[in-house]
Chain A
């Protein structure tokens, strides 16, 4: 065990002496959490729209002011002609056109169906989808209010009451985007540290040539590996704790499940990504190559890990790919434990998969790291 002590001492000396490393360890987690949580949001705010109102009636004005009063939409300019409005849509200054036909008010008052036209810039499909559903629900709201007014005034025969759906959102009652994002972003944070730092560290020894000196020394492979992994494992866990503290006290994310469970699973998960980083280091010989491959893998893992887009809405083949994506498992576990209060019973299957991945990758990279080249 003694040589291991000296290996660890050396790694920590090098880490804390590296001026580029300290900001990565201490500042990166905070910035990442703040930036991504506040900025990377899917909520609509102040979508600019153009109005083409051929009716100019009480009802049309009411509908427009209802759209604006929600805060999601902002009227760019009134009195567009259809042609002007389309030009604006082309130029990207507005995202949506609301066209109200000439007999809108009249039809409504007589109880007829009265269509309005909505044109949405769908370059960004998911935003377009959101605009559509927000608009639809605002119009439906408007419609309900009108109906009740009309019924009181006209005493028209009451139509069969439609089924009304009143949604109650469990686990994230206010549909707060930050609550949903933060647990996932913590996963990204831990992954970056695990995947990049330890693998890069091994490759660095290749680059400066000291790996040969270590290879001619009577140093056990396992000691070498632990010496490389343990320091960054500790740093990863430390950063996770910073992140969790920020999530709890800064973002007021509910911690329904046990913190201990989270930490144990995070420890396992870190070993998985570190083993992957180590494996990358055994197939590359410069930090540049290693960085490129690690980056490639990380981007795919994150984009397909359900952080930004739900895995359920991916095509079948992509869903199958997530079965080997450790990031997807840990994001799922984090959300389940933090937001839904899941315990071992609910997550143990995923944890077992992570353990298996960890053992597999570790065995693979230890096997590939050879002190003697063949």
Chain B
């Protein structure tokens, strides 16, 4: 068996007396779409920041693509893509300037970069607005663009932090088609979301409550073991006991 794309064992992060992430352990297989669910404040973003090298863990082990998060974070950065909750594109640059900038930062050769820009614009059907400033685009288009930019250097893992927040179901469905395409190309997808219908699209999901992973399985198995017919019910049952939910 090959190494898992993402591996964690007892990964923990504390901020002073507060334990944001407590002893989480899981593997994500290569090419898998892994849903990372949890209520607001459950610790999802903190966990993701540790895996992407933005935040140092307090204790535990973790590796991404076989690279250790403590010692090889620069290697990790070369092999992953990341689309953050906060918007990651530059509003005052045009669509093609944004693609060009991130392509350049990831060191794509000039010729390949030119091709890549055309290719991305064509796939997400933004060729006509390539010279429009990103600020003028609808949110759903920006998200499509941000996702394409996050995988333009062909990473083996892509981390998506609430990528579809605030858009309508049709746009979300279209976005997930892009995710499937990426997964078909062999990219491992690690995605956090608040939408339970999106959880059903994942190969496996984990549900975090108060910094711990309370459940981890395929959507079907989860529904079976909790004897319900939706992931939403599973989630509500687990999250109801949460102490630090903000609702």
Query: Taking beta carbons and an 8 Å cutoff, which residues of A are in contact with B?
Result: 2-3, 5-7, 9-10, 13-14, 17-18, 208-210, 212-219, 371-374
| Identity of the chain B residue whose Cβ is nearest the Cβ of A215 in the assembled complex | B54
Q: Mark B206-236, 1 if CB is under 8 A from A, else 0.
A: 0000000000000000000000000000000
Q: Are B80 and A6 in contact (CB under 8 A)?
A: no
Known: A6-B100, A216-B80. A209 touches B106 (CB 8 A): no
Please give, as numbers and ranges, the residues of chain B lying within 8 Å of A219 by CB-CB distance.
105
Given A6-B104, A209-B88, A213-B88, 18 new contacts (CB under 8 A):
A5-B104, A7-B101, A9-B104, A10-B90, A17-B93, A18-B92, A208-B86, A210-B87, A210-B88, A210-B90, A213-B102, A215-B53, A217-B106, A219-B105, A371-B53, A372-B55, A372-B56, A373-B56
Q: Are A218 and B90 in contact (CB under 8 A)?
A: no
| Identity of the chain A residue whose Cβ is nearest the Cβ of B55 in the assembled complex | A373
Please give, as numbers and ranges, the residues of chain B lying within 8 Å of A373 by CB-CB distance.
54-56
Q: How far is the CA of A210 from the CA of B74 in the complex (A)?
A: 18
Q: How far is the CA of A218 from the CA of B236 in the complex (A)?
A: 39
| Identity of the chain A residue whose Cβ is nearest the Cβ of B85 in the assembled complex | A209
Q: How far is the CA of A215 from the CA of B76 in the complex (A)?
A: 12
Q: Are B93 and A13 in contact (CB under 8 A)?
A: yes
Known: A208-B87, A217-B77. A372 touches B97 (CB 8 A): no
Q: How far is the CB of A319 from chain B (nearest CB, A)?
A: 44
| Identity of the chain B residue whose Cβ is nearest the Cβ of A209 in the assembled complex | B86
Known: A3-B105, A5-B104, A219-B105. A208 touches B91 (CB 8 A): yes
Known: A212-B86, A218-B74. A14 touches B104 (CB 8 A): no
Q: Mark B54-86, 1 if CB is under 8 A from A, else 0.
A: 111000000000000000011001101010101
Please give, as numbers and ranges, the residues of chain A lying within 8 Å of B104 by CB-CB distance.
2-3, 5-7, 9
Q: Which 8 A-B pairs have the closest CB atoms?
A: A6-B104, A209-B86, A213-B88, A216-B82, A218-B77, A218-B78, A10-B101, A216-B52
Q: How far is the CA of A105 from the CA of B107 in the complex (A)?
A: 91
Chain B residues bordering chain A, tally (CB within 8 A): 29
Q: How far is the CB of B237 from chain A (nearest CB, A)?
A: 33
Q: Are B53 and A209 in contact (CB under 8 A)?
A: no
| Identity of the chain A residue whose Cβ is nearest the Cβ of B78 in the assembled complex | A218
Query: Taking beta carbons and an 8 Å cutoff, which residues of B are in contact with A?
Result: 52-56, 73-74, 77-78, 80, 82, 84, 86-93, 97, 100-107
Please give, as numbers and ranges, the residues of chain B lying within 8 Å of A13 by CB-CB distance.
92-93, 97
Please give, as numbers and ranges, the residues of chain A lying within 8 Å of B84 by CB-CB distance.
209, 212-213
Can you show 25 pairs from A to B with CB atoms below 8 A apart? A2-B107, A3-B106, A6-B101, A6-B103, A6-B105, A7-B101, A7-B104, A9-B101, A10-B90, A13-B93, A14-B90, A17-B92, A209-B84, A210-B89, A212-B54, A212-B84, A212-B88, A214-B105, A216-B82, A218-B74, A218-B106, A219-B105, A372-B73, A373-B56, A374-B56
Q: How far is the CB of B121 from chain A (nearest CB, A)?
A: 18
Q: Are B93 and A10 in contact (CB under 8 A)?
A: yes
Q: How far is the CB of A41 from chain B (nearest CB, A)?
A: 41
Please give, as numbers and ranges, the residues of chain A lying within 8 Å of B89 by CB-CB distance.
210
Q: How far is the CA of A10 from the CA of B73 in the complex (A)?
A: 25
Q: How far is the CA of A217 from the CA of B105 in the complex (A)?
A: 7
| Identity of the chain A residue whose Cβ is nearest the Cβ of B104 in the assembled complex | A6
Please give, as numbers and ranges, the residues of chain A lying within 8 Å of B90 by CB-CB distance.
10, 14, 208, 210
Please give, as numbers and ranges, the residues of chain A lying within 8 Å of B56 by CB-CB distance.
372-374
Please give, as numbers and ranges, the residues of chain A lying within 8 Å of B92 by CB-CB distance.
13-14, 17-18
Please give, as numbers and ranges, the residues of chain B lying within 8 Å of A3 by CB-CB distance.
104-107
| Identity of the chain B residue whose Cβ is nearest the Cβ of A7 in the assembled complex | B105
Please give, as numbers and ranges, the residues of chain B lying within 8 Å of A9 by CB-CB distance.
101, 104
| Identity of the chain B residue whose Cβ is nearest the Cβ of A223 in the assembled complex | B105
Please give, as numbers and ranges, the residues of chain A lying within 8 Å of B52 by CB-CB distance.
216
Q: How far is the CB of A12 from chain B (nearest CB, A)?
A: 11
Q: How far is the CA of A315 from the CA of B134 in the complex (A)?
A: 55
Q: How far is the CB of A211 from chain B (nearest CB, A)?
A: 9
Q: How far is the CA of A213 from the CA of B90 in the complex (A)?
A: 11
Q: How far is the CA of A366 from the CA of B77 in the complex (A)?
A: 20
Q: How far is the CA of A373 from the CA of B56 in the complex (A)?
A: 6
Please give, as numbers and ranges, the residues of chain B lying within 8 Å of A215 by CB-CB distance.
53-54
Q: How far is the CB of B192 from chain A (nearest CB, A)?
A: 14
Please give, as numbers and ranges, the residues of chain A lying within 8 Å of B54 by CB-CB distance.
212, 215-216, 371-373
Q: How far is the CA of A209 from the CA of B45 in the complex (A)?
A: 14
Q: How far is the CA of A132 from the CA of B102 in the complex (A)?
A: 67
Q: Are B53 and A372 in contact (CB under 8 A)?
A: yes
Q: How far is the CA of A217 from the CA of B149 in the complex (A)?
A: 12
Q: How far is the CB of B191 from chain A (nearest CB, A)?
A: 15
Q: How far is the CA of A143 from the CA of B87 in the complex (A)?
A: 79
Q: How far is the CB of A243 from chain B (nearest CB, A)?
A: 28
Q: How far is the CA of A3 from the CA of B97 in the complex (A)?
A: 14
Please give, as numbers and ranges, the residues of chain A lying within 8 Å of B102 by CB-CB distance.
213, 217
Q: Are A209 and B87 in contact (CB under 8 A)?
A: yes
Please give, as numbers and ranges, the residues of chain B lying within 8 Å of A217 by CB-CB distance.
77, 102, 105-106
Q: How far is the CB of A54 from chain B (nearest CB, A)?
A: 74
Please give, as numbers and ranges, the residues of chain A lying within 8 Å of B100 by CB-CB distance.
6
Q: How far is the CA of A356 from the CA of B86 in the complex (A)?
A: 39
| Identity of the chain B residue whose Cβ is nearest the Cβ of A5 in the assembled complex | B104
Please give, as numbers and ranges, the residues of chain B lying within 8 Å of A372 by CB-CB distance.
53-56, 73
Q: How far is the CA of A108 from the CA of B152 in the complex (A)?
A: 96
Q: How far is the CA of A14 from the CA of B101 in the complex (A)?
A: 12
Please give, as numbers and ranges, the residues of chain B lying within 8 Å of A214 by CB-CB distance.
105
Q: How far is the CB of A185 from chain B (nearest CB, A)?
A: 32
Q: How far is the CB of B18 from chain A (nearest CB, A)?
A: 15
| Identity of the chain A residue whose Cβ is nearest the Cβ of B52 in the assembled complex | A216
